[in-house]
A and B are shown apart, each in its own frame.
Chain A
Amino acid sequence: MAAVLSAARADAGPLPSEAGAWRRGWRRLRRRRSAMVGLVVVCAFILAALFAPWVAPFDPIETSWSAIRQAPSAEHWFGTDDIGRDVLSRIVWGTRASLLAGVVSVSISIALGVPIGLAAGFAGGFVDALISRITDAFLACPFLILAIALAAFLGPNLTNAMIAIGISATPIFVRLTRGQVINVKVEDYIEAARALGNRPFRIAWRHVLPNILAPVMVQATLAIAAAIIAEASLSFLGLGQQPPAPSWGSMLNTAKNYVDNAPWMAIWPGLAIFLLVLSFNLLGDGLRDALDPRQR
């Protein structure tokens, strides 16, 4: 009886306590100092990306033959690069490529992976077996090597790098969603929703999806960290953002040729990648502890 009641309530919309669960999660997250540090740093990078034209002291693309490979100074805080561009300004503008790549590619993975995982977990049988084997096949190709191959065949630019990273990271979300669905599927409230005559699609959308959102969100935060490293890696290899547009990975690619006489060209962009990725990892670990205590 209780199960039927809860299903009827859930049918009328999200349970009132669902918002409460998120609020409790946020309160738990706020208590974790490392997660909050991560959140603050991520927000700082987002602001830098949004207000790049105002934050950056110089034009990131303008070259200056009179200021080639200058060491950090009062004028150029992080020094200048091999063709006289201000390193700080390029890092500020490069934040856009990194954040965009992180968010867009993970959005692609979620948009593909969650519905496919829902279908596999919910349908079971042959559909599940087929999807699982295809997922295995994708997972068997090392992440970056698959992304390199995709970027190579699609053509090297930032958009294709994001598509390549997004597709390469999709199997993780398929697996995660499928596993969660199989766990949730046997719960009483799903059984009740079925007994009330809801169609499978509606059950998946209204009853299963809200219950697997928390682990998907945790995974998404950690995946953004991995995607930012992946974009930087592809750009470092020349398969991401194309010069002269600024990106941290391609800055490091140039910098490695001048490591003996202009080390600042290598230190700062790498530090930016490290800080942003570390912050997303801290935030993701904190979210996992706050939203999903079972996985601890």
Chain B
Amino acid sequence: MLEFLIKRIATILPTLVFVSMLIFGLQQLLPGDPAVILAGEEQDPNVIAYLHKKLHLDEPLPIRYGYWVGGVLRGDLGESVRTQQPVLDLVLQKLPVTVELAVLAMLIALAIGIPAGIVSAVGRGTAWDAAANIFALWGLSTPNFWLGILMILLFSVQLGWLPASGYVSPSESLSDNLAAMIMPAFVLGNAIAAVLMRHTRSAMLQVLNADYVRTARAKGLSERVVVLKHSLRNALTPIITLGALEFGTLLSGAVLTEQVFTIPGFGKLIIDAVFNRDYAVVQGVVLVTASAYILLNLLADIAYVAVNPRLRS
């Protein structure tokens, strides 16, 4: 196990290095002198000269990268040109909101996707299977910002049950918080549920043909026990690993969902930064999401090995 851990962690190091190069490299896409662009509309020569020095723009590229990575490793992601706040603070401020949205969305996706996948695998070829597959196609083909608008139309405008926007922090009022988050979480979870359903279906189909499931049936166990206890448990491990890969989809989707429901999270932060030409914030958000994604997949891999004794040695 220890050897596996060391090996697995060693493989993410080069990935992290390339991610940092990629994100640093984004700056090079800016036409002209970054300091002039970052200085904003006033073009104050003092500001430009200050930025030149601060960003080490007179140094060659590899050295600038070195300064940048050094800063990142010390937790210095630069500062916002707009608010002069450190980027790390901004990111950490918005992170809990998006994490809450992502966790709720994932719970909804699991609650829909896994049962739908089981039903469709067990009843392969029946109307249930067809219905589950139609649901998956719907989930994969619906732009989530459109679904969000449709839900606002139905539940806020027509029925008046839920607020269309207005985030309330859970520490203020948990019920208001959930009322504001339930629609966005459902919209975000919808697409993931479709993917999870497809994974669950194919994992279950594989397991249902396995010898030990036939043995369980032969022992005279009820179908319920065979499906839920003997099959699902074994099908669940690949589903969890593949589910972790959906974290990226979740974050991409969160940007749009937050925009539709005006939720002040990560997505709102990066979009506002784009329109304010606040490039350090854009880089910071990409860096944090990519690192989180790499770590999550590492954890999923470790969990996979930990629960699967055959892989441990």
Contacts and interface: CB of A to CB of B under 8 A. Distances in A.
B274 to A, nearest CB: 4
A143 interface: yes
Interface in B146-179: 146, 149-150, 152-153, 157, 164
A232 B256 CA distance: 11
A146 B283 CA distance: 10
A239 interface: yes
A244 B116 CA distance: 43
A259 B157 contact: yes
B274 A144 contact: no
A225 B279 CA distance: 30
B141 A274 contact: yes
B285 interface: yes
B27 A153 contact: yes
Contacts of A281: 137, 140-141
Interface residues on A, range: 35 or more
B286 A153 contact: no
Interface string B222-256: 00000000000000000000000000110111011
B259 A152 contact: no
Interface stretch (B43-51, B119-127, B208-216, B288-296): B288-296
Contact of B146 (A143, A148, A274): A274
Contacts of A137: 15-16, 18-19, 21-22, 290
A150 B286 CA distance: 11
Interface in A117-161: 133-134, 136-146, 148-156
A167 B94 CA distance: 28
Nearest to B295: A140
A225 B141 contact: yes
A238 interface: yes
Contacts of B62: none
Given A133-B18, A153-B26, A281-B137, A274 B143 contact: yes
Q: Give 5 nearest A-B pairs by CB, closest first.
A: A270-B146, A137-B18, A144-B252, A142-B248, A278-B141
Interface of B: 14-16, 18-19, 21-23, 26-27, 29-31, 137-138, 140-143, 145-146, 149-150, 152-153, 157, 164, 248-249, 251-253, 255-256, 259-260, 270-271, 273-275, 279, 282-283, 285-286, 289-291, 293-294
22 contacts: A134-B18, A136-B18, A137-B18, A137-B19, A140-B293, A142-B251, A144-B253, A144-B255, A145-B251, A145-B255, A149-B23, A149-B26, A152-B273, A153-B29, A233-B145, A236-B145, A237-B259, A237-B274, A252-B143, A270-B146, A277-B141, A278-B138
Interface of A: 133-134, 136-146, 148-156, 225, 229, 232-233, 236-239, 252, 255-256, 259-260, 263, 266-267, 269-270, 273-274, 277-278, 281-282
